[in-house]
Structure 1
Amino acid sequence: MRPHHYDCRLTTVLIFRSETRLIQLIQLQLAFGDLPLLDGASLSVQRGDSVGLIGRNGSGKSSLLKLIAGSLQADDGLIQREDGVHCVVVEQEPSLPDQASLFLSLLDRAKLNPSPEEPEAWQQLADIRAWLDRFGLDPERPLSGLSGGERKRAALALGFALKPDLLLLDEPTNHLDLAAIRMLEEAMERVSTSIVITHDRHFLDRVVNRIVELERGVLRSYPGRFADYLRLRADQWAAEDQAQRRFDRFWAEEEAWIRQGVEARRKRNQGRVKRLEALREAREARRQRVGQVQMRLDRGERSGKQVLECVGLGYQTPDGRDLVKSLDWVLMRGDRVALIGPNGIGKSTLIRLALGQLKPSAGQLRQGSQWQLAYFDQMREQLDEARSVAETISPGSDWIELAGKRMHVMSYLGDFLFSPRRAQSPVRTLSGGERNRLLLARLFARPANLLILDEPTNDLDLETLELLESSLQQYEGSVLLVSHDRAFMDAVATQTLVALGDGRWREYPGGYSDWIDQGGQWPAENRAGEGSPQETPTTTFSARDLQSAKPRRKLSFKEQRELEDIPLRIDTLETEQAKLQGSMSSADYYRQGAEQMRLDQSRLEQIDETLMALLERWEALQALASK
Structure 2
Amino acid sequence: MAHLLGAENVSVSFGTRSVLDSVSLGLEDGDRIGMVGRNGDGKSTLMRLLALRQQPDEGRVTKRGDVTIGYLDQSDVLDGDLEVGQAIVGEAADHEWASNPKVREVMGGLVAEVDWHAPVSSLSGGQRRRVALAKLLIADPDVIMLDEPTNHLDVEGVAWLAEHLKKRWRANAGGLLVVTHDRWFLDEICTRTWEIHDGVVDPFDGGYAAYVLARVERDRMNSVIESKRQQLVKKELAWLRRGAPARTAKPKFRIEAANDLIADVPEPRDTVALSKLATARLGKDVLDLEHVSLAFIDPDGSTTDRNLFNNVTLRLAPGERLGIVGVNGAGKSTLLRLLNGEIEPTSGTIKRGKTVKTAILTQDVKELDEVANKRVIEVISSERSSFEVGGKEVSAGQLVEQLGFGPEKQWTPVKELSGGERRRLQLLRLLIGEPNVLMLDEPTNDLDTDTLSAVEDLLDGWPGTLVVVSHDRYLLERVTDHQIALLGDGKLRGLPGGVDQYLELRHAMPAAGTNQPGSPAGKADATESTPEAAPQYSEAEKRDARKEINRIDRQLGKLTQQAQKLHEQMAAASDVMKFDDLGPLGEKLKAVESEQELLEEAWLNAAEIVGD
Q: TM-score range by the shorter chain?
A: 0.5 to 0.7
Aligned counterpart, 1:429: 416
SS of the counterpart of 1:180?
helix
Distance 1:325 1:393 in 2: 45
**Cα pair 2:290 2:312 within 8 Å, conserved:** yes
1:190 aligns with 2:175: no
1:221 corresponds, among 203, 207, 211, to 203
1:151 aligns with 2:128: yes
Aligned counterpart, 1:280: none
1:454 corresponds, among 422, 431, 441, to 441
Aligned counterpart, 1:162: 139
Distance 1:398 1:362 in 2: 37
SS of the counterpart of 1:456?
coil
SS of the counterpart of 1:507?
strand
**Cα pair 1:87 1:164 within 8 Å, conserved:** yes
2:324 corresponds, among 336, 339, 342, to 339
Distance 1:349 1:542 in 2: 36
Aligned counterpart, 1:51: 33
Under a length normalisation based on structure 1, what TM-score does the superposition of the two structures give?
0.66
Distance 2:201 2:279 in 1: 43
**Cα pair 2:11 2:22 within 8 Å, conserved:** yes
**Cα pair 1:389 1:422 within 8 Å, conserved:** no
Range with greater deviation from structure 2 (84-93 or 407-416): 407-416
Distance 1:138 1:129 in 2: 16
- The amino acid across from 2:129 in the alignment is K
1:178 corresponds, among 155, 158, 161, to 155
SS of the counterpart of 1:350?
helix
The alpha-carbon distance between structure 1 residues 323 and 22, as it changes in their structure 2 partners (threshold 3 A), is same
Q: Deviations over 1:476-514 (max 9, x none)?
A: 21011101111111122122122244211123457535x
Q: Who wins on radius of gyration, i.e. which is larger? A: 1
Aligned counterpart, 2:425: 438
> Which stretches in structure 2 are left out of the alignment for 5+ residues?
228-273, 297-302, 518-529, 535-611
Aligned counterpart, 2:290: 311
2:379 corresponds, among 368, 373, 394, to 394
- The amino acid across from 1:203 in the alignment is F
Range with greater deviation from structure 2 (410-419 or 212-221): 410-419
Q: Cα distance, 1:123 vs. partner?
A: 8.5
Aligned counterpart, 1:329: 314
Q: Cα distance, 1:144 vs. partner?
A: 2.6
Aligned counterpart, 2:453: 466
**Cα pair 1:131 1:158 within 8 Å, conserved:** no
1:370 corresponds, among 344, 349, 355, to 355
**What pairs up with 1:197-596 in 2 under 5 angstroms?**
197-241=179-223, 302-317=281-296, 318-384=303-369, 387-388=372-373, 390=375, 394=379, 397=382, 400-403=385-388, 412-509=399-496, 511-512=498-499, 515=501
Range with greater deviation from structure 2 (425-434 or 406-415): 406-415
Q: Cα distance, 1:363 vs. partner?
A: 0.3
SS of the counterpart of 1:358?
coil
Q: Cα distance, 1:337 vs. partner?
A: 0.7
Aligned counterpart, 1:140: 117
> Which stretches in structure 1 are left out of the alignment for 5+ residues?
1-17, 246-296, 532-539, 545-626
The alpha-carbon distance between structure 1 residues 375 and 299, as it changes in their structure 2 partners (threshold 3 A), is farther
Distance 2:398 2:203 in 1: 35
Distance 1:447 1:528 in 2: 47
Q: Deviations over 1:526-574 (max 9, x none)?
A: 679969xxxxxxxx99998xxxxxxxxxxxxxxxxxxxxxxxxxxxxxx
1:131 aligns with 2:103: no
Distance 1:416 1:174 in 2: 21
SS of the counterpart of 1:321?
strand
SS of the counterpart of 2:286?
strand
**Cα pair 2:162 2:185 within 8 Å, conserved:** yes
1:84 aligns with 2:69: no
Distance 2:383 2:407 in 1: 12
**Cα pair 1:385 1:427 within 8 Å, conserved:** no
Q: Cα distance, 1:411 vs. partner?
A: 5.4
Q: Cα distance, 1:432 vs. partner?
A: 2.5
Distance 2:100 2:414 in 1: 41
- The amino acid across from 1:346 in the alignment is G
Distance 2:514 2:152 in 1: 15
The alpha-carbon distance between structure 1 residues 71 and 399, as it changes in their structure 2 partners (threshold 3 A), is same
Q: Cα distance, 1:385 vs. partner?
A: 7.8
Q: Deviations over 1:213-260 (max 9, x none)?
A: 111111111122222222222222223327999xxxxxxxxxxxxxxx
SS of the counterpart of 1:38?
strand
Q: Deviations over 1:115-141 (max 9, x none)?
A: 69xx99978999767633431233321
Distance 1:465 1:411 in 2: 17
**Cα pair 1:490 1:510 within 8 Å, conserved:** no
Distance 2:428 2:135 in 1: 37
Q: Deviations over 1:379-406 (max 9, x none)?
A: 2222218713536963894963434999
SS of the counterpart of 2:369?
coil
The alpha-carbon distance between structure 1 residues 377 and 121, as it changes in their structure 2 partners (threshold 3 A), is same
The alpha-carbon distance between structure 1 residues 398 and 363, as it changes in their structure 2 partners (threshold 3 A), is closer
Q: Cα distance, 1:45 vs. partner?
A: 0.4
The alpha-carbon distance between structure 1 residues 399 and 497, as it changes in their structure 2 partners (threshold 3 A), is closer
Distance 1:225 1:163 in 2: 25
Q: Cα distance, 1:472 vs. partner?
A: 2.3
Q: Cα distance, 1:41 vs. partner?
A: 1.5
Distance 2:225 2:407 in 1: 31
SS of the counterpart of 1:433?
helix
- The amino acid across from 1:226 in the alignment is Y
**Cα pair 1:494 1:510 within 8 Å, conserved:** no
The alpha-carbon distance between structure 1 residues 422 and 121, as it changes in their structure 2 partners (threshold 3 A), is farther
Distance 1:242 1:230 in 2: 16
**Cα pair 1:341 1:522 within 8 Å, conserved:** no
- The amino acid across from 1:213 in the alignment is E
The alpha-carbon distance between structure 1 residues 424 and 120, as it changes in their structure 2 partners (threshold 3 A), is farther
The alpha-carbon distance between structure 1 residues 393 and 448, as it changes in their structure 2 partners (threshold 3 A), is farther
Q: Which protein has greater RCO, CA pairs closer than 8 Å, 6+ apart?
A: 2
SS of the counterpart of 1:97?
coil
Identity %: 32
The alpha-carbon distance between structure 1 residues 141 and 305, as it changes in their structure 2 partners (threshold 3 A), is same
RMSD, matched Cα: 4.0
- The amino acid across from 1:306 in the alignment is D
The alpha-carbon distance between structure 1 residues 325 and 517, as it changes in their structure 2 partners (threshold 3 A), is closer
**Cα pair 2:38 2:449 within 8 Å, conserved:** yes
SS of the counterpart of 2:422?
helix
SS of the counterpart of 1:157?
helix
Q: Deviations over 1:272-294 (max 9, x none)?
A: xxxxxxxxxxxxxxxxxxxxxxx
**Cα pair 2:376 2:412 within 8 Å, conserved:** no
SS of the counterpart of 1:302?
helix
The alpha-carbon distance between structure 1 residues 491 and 543, as it changes in their structure 2 partners (threshold 3 A), is farther
SS of the counterpart of 2:443?
coil
Q: Deviations over 1:349-368 (max 9, x none)?
A: 11111122222111011111
Q: Cα distance, 1:414 vs. partner?
A: 3.3
- The amino acid across from 2:154 in the alignment is D
Distance 2:12 2:488 in 1: 50
Aligned counterpart, 1:275: none
Distance 1:82 1:359 in 2: 60
The alpha-carbon distance between structure 1 residues 527 and 355, as it changes in their structure 2 partners (threshold 3 A), is farther
Distance 2:96 2:415 in 1: 42
**Cα pair 1:93 1:152 within 8 Å, conserved:** no
**Cα pair 1:324 1:504 within 8 Å, conserved:** yes
